[in-house]
Amino acid sequence: MNRLPSVATLEGEVLPEAVLDARAMCSMNFARDEFSKLEKILLTFVIPAMGGYDNELACDIARHIEQTRIFSRNFCWPHRHLGSSHGVVGKRPRVDGGAKS
């Protein structure tokens, strides 16, 4: 009987799935909104004041903005509604007038 060789060997440790509760997702919603405000300031005022994208530092700022959105999955956008039980999207409980728990 012919046996096929093993294609891949897994090494390392299997980690349990990360979990976000509703309160943590509410904070992610707030972080997303705050990041959007910072992004608007940087793209509307700071980068043009630096001479636009001809300036290497302005390009670095824009790249970091994009990478933050991509690698945070836009602050867990697919799960954004989970946090609504702890505050309106974009508002933190007891801080920004969000729902009290």
Phi, psi of 67 (to 5 degrees): -65, -35
Phi, psi of 78 (to 5 degrees): -60, -20
pTM of the entire predicted model? 0.65
Tens-digit pLDDT profile for residues 4-54 = 555 555 566 665 666 778 888 888 889 999 999 999 999 999 999 999 999
Count the Cβ atoms, other than its own, within 10 Å of residue 43: 14
Tens-digit pLDDT profile for residues 68-94 = 999 988 888 877 777 776 665 555 555
Asked if residue 73 lies in contact with residue 81, where contact means CB atoms within 8 angstroms, the answer is no
